[in-house]
Amino acid sequence: MKDLVLPIDSSRNGLTDSVSGRAVQRFGAFAYWLAASIGEAASVRNPANAAVASDVGVPEYLVQLVIAIEDKRYWLHPGIDPIGAVRASWMNLRSKGCRQGASTIPEQIAKFGRMNSPRRPVIDRCTRATRSMLSRLGAGNSRKQVLAMYLRNVYLGRSCYGFHGAAWEYFGVDASRISEGQALFLVDRVASPNRCRTGRVRNVLKRAIVYEVVKGDLHAIPNIYASIFGSRVGDEIRSVLSELRYDNTHR
């Protein structure tokens, strides 16, 4: 007797694989969102941000944007952000390349004055960041003072260190008087000091907590970017904002 061979429905298997793939993608997207949002609101809306803003002489929304964009769990982690590190590693693994960082504010402070030094292993980097935070806390510096130190010293392009110098250089005003849109522009300089990456601006503004901070000044943001990087970049940012307004309207 010949062996009975059952026909394989390749289209059915393909459909199953497609459904499974979409399920994995949705789970991955949910896990990414969950990891990104844990502790975010608690840090961005922390009352201590107002005290730091007053001490440095900048608007509170600037401090909120720094926390939201550069270190969303600043008030919760010990110097390194385990959640952010795992999330970044997972996304880099999926993209098969190093596309996401997980540098916290203490990690960035640990690199102040050593920006041209060779890149070190992740473990060493995290160790230095933790020691940086703990040494400052041990020396009597509070987390507020560490954050204030960052605001006064971070590099923002055009040979500007700190938000006061950058506000004068880019806008000709005191940092205490910058608008929400100008604050967003300056915080964006931390990652891209002397150039604009429109895709990054889109990703930053897609986050509800950032959008909420700057939504009252959205109309001015394209002109702010255009005044520094030219009309083409301004038009790209305008297109990004139109896309985001459409998405928010149709949710």
Instruction: Tell me how many domains the chain contains.
Output: 1
How far is Cα of residue 86 from the mean position of the Cα atoms in its chain?
15
Report the share of the chain in percent with pLDDT over 90. 50
pLDDT over 60 at 180, yes or no = yes
Instruction: Name the pTM for this structure.
Output: 0.74
**Domain around 242:** 155-251
Ramachandran quadrant class, 105 (left: phi over 0; alpha: psi -120 to 50; beta: rest): alpha
Q: Which of 126-140, 184-198, 234-248 has the lowest mean pLDDT?
A: 126-140
**Which tens digit of pLDDT belongs to each residue from 41-94?**
889 999 999 999 999 999 999 999 999 999 998 998 877 765 555 554 445 455
Pick the residue with more confidence: 157 or 11?
157
Give yes or no for a contact between 93 and 217, defined as CB atoms under 8 angstroms apart: no
Residue 19 lies in a domain: no
How far is Cα of residue 72 from the mean position of the Cα atoms in its chain?
8
Residue 23 lies in a domain: no
Radius of gyration of the chain (CA): 22
Residue 82 lies in a domain: no
Q: What share of the chain is helix, strand, coil (3-state, %, to 5)?
A: 70, 0, 30
Q: Which of 57-66, 130-139, 222-231 has the lowest mean pLDDT?
A: 130-139
Q: Which of 124-138, 184-198, 206-220 has the lowest mean pLDDT?
A: 124-138
Give pLDDT, residue 78: 77
Residue 4 lies in a domain: no
251 — pLDDT class (breaks 50, 70, 90)? low
Residue 140 lies in a domain: no
Give pLDDT, residue 247: 74
Residue 51 lies in a domain: no
Supply the mean pLDDT for the chain. 78
DSSP string, 139-180: TT--HHHHHHHHHHH-B-STT-BSHHHHHHHHHSS-GGG--H
**Interatomic CA distance for residues 235 and 116, integer angstroms:** 34
**Which tens digit of pLDDT belongs to each residue from 1-45?**
444 444 545 555 555 556 565 665 565 445 445 555 567 888 999
Give yes or no for a contact between 194 and 158, defined as CB atoms under 8 angstroms apart: yes
Residue 169 lies in a domain: yes
Residue 45 lies in a domain: no
Handedness of CA 177, 179, 180, 184 (dihedral sign): negative
| Residue the block writes with tokens 């999926």 | 94
pLDDT over 70 at 164, yes or no = yes
Report the share of the chain in percent with pLDDT over 70. 63
